Amino acid sequence: MKALVYHSPGKRALENMPKPDIKLPTDAIVRITKTTICGTDLHILKGDVPTVTDGRILGHESVGIIEQVGSSVSNFSVGDHVLISCISSCGRCANCKKGMYSHCENGGGWILGVKIDGTQAEYARIPFADNSLYPIPAGADEEAFVMLSDILPTGFECGVLNGQVKPGDTVAIIGAGPIGLATLLTAQFYSPAEVIMVDNDDNRLEIAKKFGATQVIHNDLGNAAEKIMALTANRGVDVAIEAVGIPASFDIC
């Protein structure tokens, strides 16, 4: 099968790789129909994630069709159309029972494309299939559903829920890329009064306005924080959400 393989910082290749097999009875083999790239993949390619070693197939967000299931898989069958969670979780350990799936104590967490081969390939082995796959309806828009694998949940959980966005809040989101836009969309579930989007790209800021941003700031001179303070009469914001992952955006927050 064809797969995107990491070799070292700055070095990756589309290669022929062996099709994965069932290793544990809780596994499923999924034929990938749609996948995408994440900002964390870019960090991997820059050498920022040392747990990713030479020869690893990248990727952790996809949809596909199940081709094979292990003997212990009970929630899914061959032929099922599924969404692959970016986080693999056993669903039974103490942390999983608390909903802390990324801290799965039985070898789960963010492992796809990091500690085990990922989903930027024609096929992928998904561990803990019963708790790491989600059924999607026939005829669904796969390009839309793949956004639920990682991007929208990340913006919602790490940004909106952890930021405790409330009705009437003023929210600043630093970075209008996919994660920032997902945060913008899901923040509106909680009726903030203002959502200020900051980015260096005019096109992204235009999209942010269409998606519901009440104010946009072009950080062309690196003075976004000063502009935000001016917009808020020096009060600042109730919630600042960093959606890029670089020191400059953390400094603005």
- Give the residue among 128, 152, 165 at the shortest CA–CA distance from 38: 152
Q: d(Cα 220, Cα 69) in Å, to the nearest integer?
A: 51
Q: Tens of pLDDT along the chain (253 residues)?
A: 999 999 999 999 999 999 999 999 999 999 999 999 988 899 999 999 999 999 999 999 999 999 999 999 999 999 999 999 999 999 999 999 999 999 999 999 999 999 999 999 999 999 999 999 999 998 899 999 999 999 999 999 999 999 999 999 999 999 999 999 999 999 999 999 999 999 999 999 999 999 999 999 999 878 999 999 999 999 999 999 999 988 999 999 9
Q: So where are the chain's domains? A: 2-148, 153-252
Q: What is the pTM of this model?
A: 0.87
Q: Over the Cα atoms of the chain, what is R_g? A: 20
* 116 torsion bin: left (phi>0), alpha (psi -120 to 50), beta (else): beta
- CATH architecture of the domain with residue range 153-252: 3-Layer(aba) Sandwich (3.40)
Alpha helices by DSSP H, listed for 188-253, are 202-210, 224-231, 247-252
Q: d(Cα 98, Cα 213) in Å, to the nearest integer?
A: 33
Beta carbons of 38 and 30 less than 8 angstroms apart: no
> What does the DSSP 8-state code read for residue 38?
-
Beta carbons of 7 and 54 less than 8 angstroms apart: yes
Residue 222: per-residue pLDDT = 85
The domain 2-148 having CATH identifier 3.90.180.10: the answer here is: yes
Which amino acid is located at 39 in the chain?
G
**Partners of 121 in beta bridges:** 3
Residue 245: per-residue pLDDT = 86
**Partners of 88 in beta bridges:** 109
Dihedrals phi, psi of 85, to nearest 5 degrees: -70, 145
How is residue 213 written in tokens?
């941003």
